[in-house]
Structure 1
Amino acid sequence: MSTRRPRRTYTEAFKKQIVELHKAGKARKEIIEEYDLTGSAFDKWVRQHNQTGSFKEKDNLTPEQKELK
Structure 2
Amino acid sequence: MSRSQPPYTEEFRRQMVELVRAGHSPEVLAKEYGPSGPSIRNWVRQAEQEGEARADELTAAERDELKRLRKENRQLREEREILRKATIFFAAETDQK
Gaps of 5+ in 1: 54-69
TM-score by length of 1: 0.61
Q: 1:40 to 1:28 in 2, by over 3 A?
A: closer
Q: Which amino acid aligns with 1:13?
A: E
User: What is the match of residue 8 of structure 1?
Assistant: 6
**Alignment RMSD:** 1.6
TM-score by length of 2: 0.45
How many pairs align?
49
Computing the radius of gyration from Cα coordinates, the structure with the larger value is: 2
Runs of 4+ in 1 over 4 A off after TM superposition: none
CA distance in 1, matches of 2:24, 2:48: 17
Q: Which has the higher helix share?
A: 2
State the identity %: 41
Q: Which structure would you say has the larger RCO, counting Cα contacts within 8 Å and 6 or more residues apart? A: 1
